[in-house]
Amino acid sequence: MRNQPAAATASRPQARAADLTVRRRAGRRRSWLPYLTLLPASVLIASFVVFPVATVFYYSLQQYDVTRPYLNGFVGLDNFRQVLTSDDVFRTSLAVSVKWVGSEVVGQLVLGMILALVLNSAFRGRGLARSLLFSPWAVSGVVVTTMWKLLYNPFTGMLDTVLTRVGLIHAPIQWLSDLDTVFGAVVAAELWRGVPFFAIVLLAALQGIPTDLYEAAAVDGAGRWQAFTRVTLPLLKDAIILATLLRGVWEFNNVDLIYTMTAGGPGDLTTTLPLYVVNQAIRYHNFGYGSALSVVAFAVLLLFAVLYLRLGRFGRDD
Amino acid sequence: MRTPLSKLRGPAAALLAMLAVACGGGASSGGGSASTASAAPVTITFWDTNAGPDRTPVWQELIKRFQAANPNITVEYTGIPIAQQLQKLQAAIASGAVPDVANPLTSQLSGMVAQDGLLPLDKQFNGWSGKGDIPAPLITSIRALVPDKKLYAIPISGNMTTLYYRKDWIAQKGLKPPTTWDDFYTDVNALNDPAHNVYGFGFRGATGSASQLENWVFSEAGLTTYFDSKGNASIGSQAAISVIQRAVGLYGKQTSKDDITHGFPEMVSEFDSGHAAMIMHNLGSYPQHITALGKDAVGAVTLPALSGGKHVLLNSPNISAMVFKGTKHADAAWKFAAFLAAPDSVSYFNEKIGQIPPNEKVASAQWVKDNAGIQNALATQKQSNTTLVNPPWILPDYSAIESQMEPSLQKMLLGQVTPSQFASDLAGKLATSKRQYDQAHKP
């Protein structure tokens, strides 16, 4: 027993050392465990996002035409120089993109807000109305195109037939070939498809607003308009900013509906920047120049997203 | 002994050779390449580059017949719509995920060879029993499309740009069929009735429009060479510009304004539904028009003659069987390609789609004699004052240039670009491409 303190004294450093070792091991395990768990996702992201994006940046510095390998090679910034200084279609397609995104996002926001407010109120058949109004969101762009092209058909389309019968027009309107109507016609088709997205997002946000806020506003003498502008809108701010940003990016990159409806025509009137990229890279086989256009489009979107979030003070309380 | 065909030079002789063969050849034979290999079972893939309800069943029937004759080979069919086929093939070659066999047009050959995507078939073709059934000038013309002059494609079907018109309406109005350009414009004006949604002509204003206009311009302007000795494209000449002006002048008056959005399906539908009195397409849509309107209502002629009866026609590319370099079953792939080019298959396929069989043994088949479009094409080809002009399919970016001109053509229809600007832009692109190609392929 006399030896016990000595033994204890001797074993204490050993125990401390053992404890330290265990802790070190655990620490080491802790230090690589997060990386290990992140690895699968990182590999996927690197393979399917980083590598393709890096490839686009690489090809943007090349003349790369798959059918004319005798012209291929490094061209430095020539592609960018051409995009920014002498490509008229780039300028017009960028302008069409801005017009397209503006029309779609504003139109969808306003109509989506109206729909959400209506669907947020109680009325008989609300469930059915919700299902019907949200259904266009589930329809693919190509199907939307087919449907709207049938509606716009100047020979057999319902739109011209109805307008003629009610006496609003005397001759069929060529909706998709007339300079004055083609852009609006395509915007209308995409609005039909896109409005439900805003309605869903805004309806979800509306249902999260406590009713006692409206009761308090009513006690303070607020009418419906004041309740909307002072209670509803401020509380929907983050949802609106996020939805408009996402929709803005999606609409900027929208190709399916425009491509299948007008192929960017007539005469580039509905050619947006992504559609121009598709034409250059896929139809004209000019992958180098198409990549340079993609890099420029990427920069435009990045700038837009950063400015929009900063100016909108996203996530911050006013 | 020199035949009249052998006097003609270059690829332009090829179609004439093929048509002459089709016109006067020997008896149709059952032929075919039925052979049963004893090798282990293999599966090959076949990409149909013009899939759709009309043609897919035809290819599927041919595959069925091939598999019955070659039970150890399974052919997997993949149908690709024509509008996307070129980009799909090019992407497939670039990524190495190629089919074993496909059926593209010979006009696409040079681009795919430039990508090093195709297998040369000289050895297999030279040892093939069906070799003699295919006109030699046609094979020569296909070899001429690529820098190494090897054979990468075996022809299955020939074609010709055709003017379809409403025979019944022309008879009712006491007009002459549009066999000359003057008659064409007279008929277009006389049959135009916009008040009833019926137009004299159905213009192709969207996909494929530049190619159609090019055929029109060469024929009406009588341009007999594609490039002059200095390398300038004749589409930029004053004669071409005048024709473009006249043709574009029809838009919105003798054509529907909606034509600016019309590719192949819309244009054909406009004609078949009785909204256009005439359209330009190739022989391939003949069966469709006959089904929709009946034999008595549809006339089919080659593009009209100049005053004096002279015809100038741009050649049309052939549908061909091509074997891809990435194939792991080269023997089976060749066997299938040869089967498609054999008389029985060529006869069956071309009868169904209404095109010209490039095979001597099919030439005198009854169905060839019964097809008015083919007969008219053959008769025109036989005339001594017909000139065939070959488009520069040798340029790998030729089809891309035509695609690039389509928005510009629409702008021209809308009055935003003049015919002179359009012609000069197109001619400039073609001349630049030719110069770059010649420079890269200097002997």
Residue A317 has pLDDT above 70, yes or no: no
Q: Which residues of chain B have pLDDT under 70?
A: 1-39
pLDDT in tens, A286-313: 999 999 999 999 999 999 888 888 887 7
Residue A280 has pLDDT above 50, yes or no: yes
pLDDT in tens, A82-127: 999 999 999 999 999 999 999 999 999 999 999 999 999 888 888 8
pLDDT in tens, B14-41: 444 444 444 433 333 333 333 444 568 9
Position B365: which residue type? A
Tokens of A159: 């739109």
- Contact criterion met (CB < 8 Å) for B260 and A266: yes
Give the other-Cβ count within 10 Å of A104's Cβ: 23
Instruction: Select from B202, B200, B143 the least CA-distant residue to B175.
Output: B200
> What is the pLDDT at residue A139?
86
Nearest Cα residue in chain B from A150: B266
- Contact criterion met (CB < 8 Å) for B115 and A67: yes
Residue A314 has pLDDT above 70, yes or no: no
Q: How far apart, in whole angstroms, are the C-alpha atoms of residue B14 and residue B318?
A: 10
- Contact criterion met (CB < 8 Å) for B407 and A285: no
Tokens of A55: 């490839």
C-beta of residue B190 within 8 angstroms of C-beta of residue B200: yes
Residue A66 is nearest to which of B94, B259, B437, comparing CB atoms? B94
Q: How far apart, in whole angstroms, are the C-alpha atoms of residue B243 and residue B413?
A: 14
C-beta of residue B355 within 8 angstroms of C-beta of residue B158: yes
Residue A154 is nearest to which of B256, B397, B404, comparing CB atoms? B256
> What is the pLDDT at residue A5?
54
The contact set of A with B (CB < 8 A) is: 65-71, 89, 154-155, 172, 174, 176-179, 262-268, 271, 279, 282-286
∠ at Cα B102 (B97, B108), nearest 5°?
95
The yes/no answer to whether this complex scores an ipTM above 0.85 is no
Tokens of B210: 């530049």
Nearest Cα residue in chain A from B399: A284
> What is the pLDDT at residue A310?
85
CA distances from B333 to B46, B69, B100, B336, B405 (A): 9, 14, 6, 5, 36
∠ at Cα A119 (A116, A122), nearest 5°?
140
B258 touches chain A (CB under 8 A): yes
CATH, domain A91-312, list 2.60.40.10, 1.10.3720.10, 3.30.70.3270, 1.10.287.3610: 1.10.3720.10
Per domain, the residue ranges of chain A are 1-48, 91-312
Who's near B92: CB < 8 A, 6+ residues apart?
B47, B98, B99, B117, B324
- Contact criterion met (CB < 8 Å) for B90 and A178: no
> What is the pLDDT at residue A7?
53
Q: Catalogue the E-assigned strands of B137-247.
A: 154-157, 161-166
- Contact criterion met (CB < 8 Å) for B414 and A282: no
Q: How far apart, in whole angstroms, are the C-alpha atoms of residue A235 and residue A218?
A: 17
